[in-house]
Chain A
Amino acid sequence: MRAISLLLAVVLGAASTAGAMLLGAREVQAQQTAAGSAAPEPHATPAGGLSQSDIARMLPATDMGAGAARAGNPHPADMGDSPATPFDAASIPPNPLAPQADPIGAKSCVACHAQENVQASHTLHVASFRAGAANTGPQAACESCHGPGSAHAKDPAAPGLIIGFTHDSQTPPPTQAGVCLACHAGGARQHWIGSVHQNRGLSCTDCHNPMARLSPEGVLAKSSINEVCATCHQDIRAKFNRRSHMPLPEGQMACTDCHNPHGSITRPLLKTDTVNETCYTCHAEKRGPFLFEHAPVRQNCLNCHDVHGSNQQTLLVAPVPMLCQQCHTMTLHPNDLQSAAGLGTGPHPDERLIGRGCLTCHSNIHGSNNPSGPKFHK
């Protein structure tokens, strides 16, 4: 009840603040609209009643001769010891929806996409392109990803004439991914094909946005890795708020510390060959091998732990002794039904229930290296 009361109080308090903010927001929007009136209008309607030919006439001539330069050699030679980055050799992907289109050069693109140019220029992605192009002459930074732009320039409102990477784009996700993989294949993306993210129809730009610096690193689609992952995996994100959890909510870890969202040879996209190998990377003391092993521990940490978050101590999937009594029904002490009688407040306090329960005695539950440790007491 106290939580609900507090919630209501906060909602009421916030509502008045929000009202003021939104009034302010409308003003900002109005100002923005006014300011934007000098720029071309959105794509749905030709700006200011301009026809397609008007638009085509207003565009500058291609600045680089990129189309001609690439006609005979779409993959310019490497620049050897040039100070330019290897990005300068990036090719222009064909647009399956506009196969006859020719490159027109970035200057033409920027004539309309001025603000995109401002934002993109400050991203790691485009800045690296620019660094290459600055030294090697005619290149097509925009068209290296968006494909040749002539068809789009002639008919900007027609969808599909340029390779797009957003929700309204006509370019299918596999085509989008293909563009990115043209440069980014291999390495961390060696197993993209066949990964669950690829199978579920994700595009690279579901997680990345190379057109704006939304994150200082990783050209992410949101402001951090964890926010990107939580876009779809909201339930997993919520588990990190439970009593025991990995330190994601405290900003110390990212989902990608353990998972490779670009694909791996494991079903949950782990970075290593098995669950345990991933866990051992940070919990190397659990690796052993020990003189005496505990079978479910060695087989899979997830037998006992819910690594994303748990309502029990130390990420356990069930409270002790219940956790242990799922398997241990041996004669004498393991198979008794523990009840409230055994609590610290009960008539018969019982060490199998209080505090760490079973682990008070079987402390080396992950394995013992003691000659007297077959039952993990030592």
Chain B
Amino acid sequence: MLALKGNRTTPTALALALLCGLSGTPDVRAGDTSGTIRVGDMQFGNALDLRGWTPMLQPADPDGVSYLHAGMRRTPTGALYPYPPLADAGKPLGQGDWTYAGLIELGYLHVGGDRNAEYFRQYADWKSGAVLGLFALNFDNRKTGSYVELRGSRLSGDDQYYRLRAGRYGSYRLEGFYRDMPHTVSTRAYPIWNGVGGTDLTLPAPLVAGASTPAQVAAVSAAAPRRSLGLTRTRAGLGYEGVLYRDWIGSAAITNEKRSGTRLWGGSMFFNFPFPDDGGILETVRPIDFRTTDINLSVRNVGKLWRFLATYNGSFFRNHKDHLNFESPFALYNVAGTPQMADIKDGQFSLEPDNDYHNLRLDLTRELKWNGQFSVAGAWGTMRQNDALLPPTTCTGVGGIYIAPPADYTFQCANWNTTAALSQKSANARIDTGLFDARVTFRPTPAFGWHAGLRWYREDNKTRYLAYNPLTGQYGYISENGSQGSVVPGETGIFDPTNPLYWSRNVTVRNVPFGYTDTVLELGADWQPGRKSSLGVTYTYDHNRPKYRERKRVDEQRIKFDWVSRDVIGATVRLSWEYAKRTGDRYNYDPYVPFFSRSLPGFVDPANGLPAHTVADMRKYDLSDRTESKARAIITYPWGESATLSATFYGNRDQYDALIGRQHTRTTGATVQWDWQPTPATTVNAYLGAETSRLGISNVNDADGPDNGAVFGTPEQVNPNLGGPLYPFANQWWELDRERNRNGGFSLSHDFGRVRADLRYDYTGSLGHVGYSYATIGALATRDPASVAAAAAGFPDNKYRTNTLDLGLSFTVSRSVGVRLFGRYQSGAFSDWHYAGLDNTLSYDHRLYTDKGGQLHYNVSLVGVMLNLKL
């Protein structure tokens, strides 16, 4: 009644209620779990049943939720709640207070058509055969609140989950689960190597490492069988959460994850593009053999005034295959034209090292006067690894190039192919993190509130590595398995202050321990001019101090306005607009001098000076000056008694102050959705969405060839300026990526009584076009007439499109037995110019690819019959 007497009492009452609510009873101790604190495992489902419990939701209760109100209630925003399923009271279990309820859904699935299409089975292991749709069994004790829940589903051995939960409401909960999740990387892979999935890729006969012709390689590639590459993520976990003592609640969880399989990888034996019949570019296959063990502990206390939360997260990653060796079939020739002494044919990768991670965080919140709250959080974390390092190369004999005395650019592999060639035997890598976050909020009157926040975060990289070979006294490394220095004289990767051949070589000699300290200050206020609307403004100042980057300081100021109204012609409207401006200190285009050999004693500047590291007008997009604006509107309109119309409109504009680098991004989009639930038996949904985006960049080709300036190797190569001799305006180019996305669909479900029919159609389509322009052909990678003509034609469009139609009929045979027939038809189309031509051949001169990319067109059908038994 008070509400009817005027608005004056409402704000006071509202404040009282909020205050009462926030300082309410602490007696409810383990009212819920900490699931939404921990990352992962919130969802157990699969492509057959996205929710993981759909059969448990049918049939809908014909009486809805109320005899008093027709139709369904809506959320405070205005969206309709679905009609609830018919309540199942369960069956008594023995003579006690326990009841049970359950169902099992099993059947047979047949997959026809292009069942191996990559985008059909990207995260679903569809197979013809028997499937367990759902097994759910719940035991409840209505008197004590104790329960046991079991749930599982199985599409295949690589796509399944099982979970057991037990506990007592408000007291404790135990959970154990096991799940397999598939991820298909490629279904059109044609690797030529033996040993795929392992750490040693060897060439099949008749190929000989380092001595095969492109024609021989092409022939073997053409005969290679088609394979699928991918991995399975297998997770198993145990968790407990419950009252420890009085108002203290604790949780402990351990999760063990194994990832096994293969992924596409690379393999470089130096360029092929500038050196026909030379170099080696290989798309290889790497093994995935990871194990990660996560431990999560937490303890919390919720009191009337104080709330405390302490969490520990530990993660321990182990890679059981920490390297990949591969044989390259291609022969290398040096550009000096002298007899090739080097026999470089083997490559090696270090794969990801093991690592340990610890993070301890404390959160404390206190209620304050004036309807206020103060929160503070502090965390310390560390990530470390100390894996044994591999030697710089695996070559044997001699690498490099011998021209004539004194131009002896060879190196003895024995001096570099053991760990004795390293300044340290293990990585000893470590990054520590620190966090402090404080926030205070006050709402002195119900109509007005303000808040302030301060966040400080630091990432401190403590890894230090010096690339020094104690065997030779030289600095640096062996580039690209020794291939680079065996093709181009002196480009071995070595700096030697005692050798004139190497004392001007500017190579990496130290790691760069990137890190940053970020401080964010936020001030905000909100005002409620009416009972159903509010207006807010937030100002944010972000002060970032990156280490060893082009800028030492990056500042961003952001202001955001938002407006919420719950009654715009009956609709709820949420609008927001924000504007941000990022600036910083002087941009140093080359901050990496201390990490290169030019910083070492004994370095001799070359006669023509060192070529500019990069163009001085380059601005990396995470550091450049930028203005940004974003706008978003979310509208929810209750349409009559049984429908909801909702829509989203959004747009982002980013303008980067960069002559070279990212220049702008733009995104504009809208979605609209209609949901209709005229009766418990019928639901209808239709949706449409459209989005366009643009990303524009600019770059400049350096004048490195006779047909575009040929400054490289001359005294003018030291000039880093755009418009200078090394980076002339004539070589500048611009590229624009435009993407257009459309999606739409509808669904219809109706229960006729003995049978329920479901129909669903979904369409998604994207069109991407990369366009470019250039000042002159000096910008182009290749400038012969054929290339210029091809460049003028531009890239073809990239496309991705799927149409999916689902039909289902569910028959009720008896109260406990049901049968479901369903089918899916999906067609897809894909094109990506990265894979243009690979359908015809995977071999181009000294380049060999493995993956042909996604299937260009596919049609696949899926039919199934499921028996549904209520237990």
Contacts and interface: CB of A to CB of B under 8 A. Distances in A.
Looking at chain B's contact residues, is the secondary structure mostly helix, strand, loop, or mixed? mixed
A341 B27 CA distance: 72
A235 B798 contact: no
Contact of B355 (A21, A170, A288, A373): A288
Contacts of B701: 335-337
Contacts of B621: 303, 326-327
A224 B844 contact: no
Interface residues of B, number: 286
Interface in A185-210: 185-188, 190-191, 193-194, 199-203, 205-207, 209
A48 interface: no
Given A296-B622, A319-B768, A158 B4 contact: yes
Nearest to A159: B3
A261 B14 contact: no
17 contacts: A40-B67, A188-B36, A190-B300, A190-B309, A200-B564, A203-B76, A225-B43, A247-B122, A282-B39, A284-B292, A292-B508, A318-B695, A319-B798, A337-B791, A355-B851, A356-B264, A369-B427
Looking at chain A's contact residues, is the secondary structure mostly helix, strand, loop, or mixed? loop
A59 interface: no
Contact of B81 (A170, A212, A257): A212
Of all A-B residue pairs in the complex, the 6 with the closest CB atoms, nearest first, are A178-B21, A96-B13, A182-B24, A344-B837, A251-B45, A131-B145
Interface stretch (B47-55, B328-336, B863-871): B47-55
A377 B333 CA distance: 20
Given A252-B43, A353-B834, A363-B265, A242 B800 contact: yes
Interface stretch (B216-224, B403-411, B601-609, B681-689): B681-689
Contact of A98 (B2, B764, B833): B2
A44 to B, nearest CB: 9
B789 to A, nearest CB: 8
A94 interface: yes
Contacts of B465: 291-292, 371
Contacts of A32: 62-63, 679-680
B585 interface: no
Given A115-B65, A265-B437, A96 B800 contact: no
Contacts of B57: 214-216, 223
B31 A183 contact: yes
Interface string A351-367: 11111110111111010
Q: Which of B65, B313, B381, B684 has the most CB of A within 10 A?
A: B65
Interface string A73-104: 00100100001111101110111111100000
Interface string A228-253: 00011111001001110001011111
B858 to A, nearest CB: 13
A176 interface: yes
Contact of B10 (A166, A172, A256, A336): A172
Interface in A322-378: 322, 325-333, 335-357, 359-364, 366, 368-375, 377-378
B298 to A, nearest CB: 8
A372 B76 contact: no
Nearest to B697: A326
Given A168-B74, A235-B689, A216 B798 contact: no
A273 B76 contact: no
A372 B478 contact: yes
Interface stretch (B194-202, B775-783, B815-823): B775-783
Contact of B681 (A3, A28, A184, A205): A28
Interface string B29-73: 111111111111111011111111110110001111111111001
Interface string A21-48: 1101100110010011001111100000
Interface stretch (B107-115, B203-211, B496-504, B739-747): B739-747
Contact of B39 (A87, A271, A342, A360): A271
B779 A337 contact: yes
A71 interface: no
B277 interface: no
Given A335-B700, A342-B782, 18 more contacts: A18-B750, A84-B145, A86-B27, A93-B21, A118-B63, A201-B574, A214-B84, A251-B50, A256-B43, A273-B361, A281-B40, A290-B353, A291-B429, A329-B699, A337-B735, A342-B273, A347-B784, A353-B834
B838 interface: yes
A217 B7 CA distance: 38
B493 to A, nearest CB: 7
A343 B837 contact: yes
A356 B266 contact: yes
Contacts of B763: 3, 7
A98 B1 CA distance: 6
B272 A351 contact: yes
A68 interface: no
B805 to A, nearest CB: 6
A11 B744 CA distance: 12
B169 A282 contact: no
B68 A113 contact: yes
A175 B17 contact: yes
A169 interface: yes
Interface string B508-548: 10011110100000001010000100101000000000101
B294 A188 contact: no
A254 B43 contact: yes
A35 to B, nearest CB: 8
B813 interface: no
Given A311-B766, A327-B618, A25 B309 contact: no
A124 interface: yes
Contacts of A242: 741, 764, 766, 800
Contacts of A293: 461, 463, 511-514
A208 B35 CA distance: 15
A378 B352 contact: no
A265 B522 CA distance: 12
A372 B481 CA distance: 8
Interface string B820-840: 000000010010111111101
A21 B681 CA distance: 9
A127 interface: yes
Contacts of B433: 273-274
Interface in A136-180: 151, 155, 158-161, 165-170, 172-180
Interface string B580-621: 000000000000000000000000000000011111001011
Contacts of B69: 42-43
Interface string B454-478: 0101010101010100000000011
Contacts of A241: 743, 762, 764, 802
B512 to A, nearest CB: 7
Given A174-B14, A284-B355, A160 B737 contact: no
A280 B357 contact: yes
